[in-house]
Homo-oligomer: A and B are copies of this chain.
Amino acid sequence: MSKRELHLGAILSGVGTTQNAWLDPDLPGDASVSIDWYIENARLAEAAKFDLVFIVDSPFITPDTAPHFLNRLEPLTLLSAVAVSTSRIGLAGTLTTSFWEPYNVARQFASLDLISKGRAAWNVVTTGLEGAARNYGREEHFDHALRYARAKEFVAVVQGLWDSYEDDAFPRDKAAGVFLDKTKQHVLNHKGEFFTVAGPLNIQRSPQGQPVIFQAGDSDAGRDLGAHIAEGTYTIAENFEDARAYYQDLKQRAAALGRNPDHIVVLPGLIPVLADTDEEARAIEEQENGKLDFTKALVQLGRPFNYHDFTQYDPDAAFPDVGHITLNSYKGHAEKIVRAARAENLTLRETAWRFATRRNPFVGTAETVANEIEHWFTNGACDGFNFRVTRPGDFARFIREVVPILQERGLFRTEYAHDTLRGHLGLPFPENRYAQPIHAIAAE
């Protein structure tokens, strides 16, 4: 195996998934609905040789939802426009298995993979916000465990549809009059617990064979799904220890299922605060946190609890008993908050500040941040990072100052060595399930 390589993603979220990010003077107020903003930032990331751009998503809002989620472009249409405006960078889009049809999802991602010439990835989520169900004809969201069982089958159906045609199914021989080799078109005929889908899909295999599968859930069910289906995961880690625990757990789960753990690329989120000195960077971080309004912090705290209204409690009493609140929402994240509040005897106010502000391990000079990145990467906490692009100045500075250090240390590429996202991430090309194993034969 060649030298292990760090992977970098750029999460492009317009005006940002927090309450105040949109106030940055350098950030256009309409960034979340501006395809020009997305293309510009994707090109910046591509010039810096990032592996991919990453689009988060959720199909439910309230008036109090953070600015980016209130009003934003839809991931598939967004990424397709970015696809023809870039040439090498991967394109990962989030889409829920809870409120879509597998046939439509299979088609759109396969189409994106063809349009991008092999750079598409699907970030599989089940949707944490219960209110989303009411946008799709349901009174209540699927129970948490059911959501994940459905997701597993949903992905299997989509991957089955992606194999509808073998890689060489279309001779397109005008002289012989043969467009399709009918023996290489396959009908899936899936009849499962949740889905019944005949097929075949009406689109050929794409340059990647199949788009890459990402996954982002952090609950036990989420990790189990990730171990089964993910080729990449996006995770939110508070600190090195949490990241390492998640990393080891996920890779072990995958290995236990007979998978090669190297074939799941783990990318925690990264929001560095960069300055000329470590002290200055820490001061910026504290100032940013100080700007946050406590009411907004409470709203942000409530989101993983299905937008539970925490303003009804005494902020200076112990973190309230939320046993009556369903944890059917962003379960993994909500459980983490409850655990932390209980373990450290935090008040509601302390809990809100902790999770609205976060303890950011990536604060300091470019050298300091690069050191921390290397520490996580070389000590079993990640395979790279998903940079959350909110403050535009920080993204530019990270590219200008931190990326070169990572390159000098031989951790990160200085030029793309591949044309596809699978290539960038070191993931294998998935053989079509119906095909003769020609690669195996050739290798004998």
Q: Are A197 and B84 in contact (CB under 8 A)?
A: no
Q: B177 and A103: CB pair below 8 A?
A: no
Task: Mark interface residues in A216-230 (1 if CB within 8 Å of B CB, else 0).
Answer: 000000000000000
Which of A29-37, A44-52, A303-311, A338-346 sits within the interface? A29-37
Write out the residue numbers on chain B whose beta carbons fall within 8 Å of the beta carbon of A39. Answer: 84
Interface size class of A (residues with CB under 8 A): 35 or more
The complex places the Cα of A71 from the Cα of B200 at a distance, in Å, of 10
Contact A179 B112 (CB under 8 A): no
Interface pair B29/A61, CB less than 8 Å apart: no
- Known pairs A33-B114, A104-B104, A134-B196; list 4 more (Cβ under 8 Å): A29-B179, A73-B111, A76-B76, A81-B83
A77 to B60, CA, bound (A): 22
The smallest C-beta distance from A234 to any residue of chain B, in angstroms, reads 20
| Chain B contacts for A131, CB-based, 8 A | 198
Q: Which of A60, A73, A76, A202 has the most CB of B within 10 A?
A: A202
Residue A323 at the chain B interface, CB threshold 8 Å: no
Q: Is the CB of B104 within 8 A of A100?
A: yes
- Residue contact A185 to B84, C-beta cutoff 8 Å: no
Q: Is the CB–CB distance between B203 and A71 below 8 Å?
A: yes
* Residue from B33, B77, B84, B103 in contact with A76 in the complex, judged by beta carbons closer than 8 Å: B77
**A-B pairs with the 8 shortest C-beta distances?**
A29-B172, A74-B111, A134-B198, A80-B80, A77-B80, A77-B111, A81-B84, A103-B135
Query: Is the CB of A259 closer than 8 A to any CB of chain B?
Result: no
The residue of chain B having its C-beta at the shortest distance from the C-beta of A36 within the complex is: B84
A351 at the interface (CB under 8 A from B): no
- Residue in B22, B136, B198, B200 whose beta carbon sits within 8 Å of that of A172 in the complex: B22
Q: Is A152 an interface residue (CB 8 A)?
A: no
Contact A74 B203 (CB under 8 A): yes
Please, which residues of chain B bring their CB within 8 A of the CB of A78? Answer: 80, 111, 115
Which of A80, A85, A100, A203 has most B Cβ within 10 Å?
A80
Q: Would B29 and A174 count as touching, CB distance under 8 A?
A: yes
Does chain B have a CB within 8 A of A426?
Answer: no
Contact with B along A130-161 (1 / 0, CB 8 A): 01001111000000000000000000000000
Q: Does A18 belong to the interface (CB within 8 Å)?
A: no
Q: Is B35 a contact partner of A73 (Cβ separation < 8 A)? A: no
Which residue of the partner chain, among B65, B70, B115, B195, contacts A81 with CB atoms under 8 Å? B115
Q: How distant is the Cα of A78 from the Cα of B80 in the complex, in angstroms?
A: 7
A244 contacts chain B at the CB level, 8 A cutoff: no
A135 touches B198 (CB 8 A): yes
- Are B103 and A136 within 8 A (Cβ)? yes
Quick check: A204 and B174 within 8 Å, CB to CB? no
Contacts A72-B202, A114-B73, A203-B71 hold; do A137 and B195 have CB atoms under 8 A apart? yes
Residue of A23, A107, A165 with highest tally of chain B CB at under 10 A: A107
Which residues of chain A from 47 to 91 have any CB-CB distance to chain B below 8 Å in the complex? 58-61, 63, 65, 67, 69-74, 76-78, 80-81, 83-85
> A42: shortest Cβ distance to chain B, in Å?
11
* Chain B residue nearest to A33 in the complex (CB): B114
Say if the beta carbon of A317 comes within 8 Å of chain B: no
**A99 close to B99 (CB less than 8 A):** no
Do residues B29 and A202 form an inter-chain contact, with CB atoms below 8 A? Answer: no
> For the complex, is A257 an interface residue (Cβ under 8 Å from B)?
no
Among B76, B111, B170, B202, which residue has its beta carbon within 8 angstroms of that of A61?
B202
Candidates B74, B112, B114, B196; contact of A108 at CB < 8 Å: B74
- Residues from chain B with a CB closer than 8 A to the CB of A202 are 58-61, 65, 69-72
**A258 interface hit (Cβ, 8 Å):** no
What sequence of 0s and 1s flags, for each residue 283-321 of chain A, a beta carbon within 8 Å of any chain B beta carbon? 000000000000000000000000000000000000000
The reply on A439 being an interface residue by CB < 8 A is no
Residues of B within 8 A of A33 (CB): 114, 203-204
A168 contacts B by Cβ under 8 Å: no
A182 within 8 A of B: yes
Determine the chain B residues whose CB is within 8 A of the CB of A199 once the complex forms: 135
A255 sits at the interface (CB 8 A): no
| Closest chain B CB from A294 CB (angstroms) | 14
- The contact sample of 22 A-B pairs, CB cut-off 8 A, is A22-B179, A29-B170, A30-B170, A59-B107, A59-B202, A60-B202, A67-B180, A70-B202, A71-B202, A73-B115, A74-B110, A74-B203, A76-B77, A81-B81, A81-B83, A100-B104, A101-B101, A101-B136, A104-B104, A134-B196, A135-B197, A135-B198
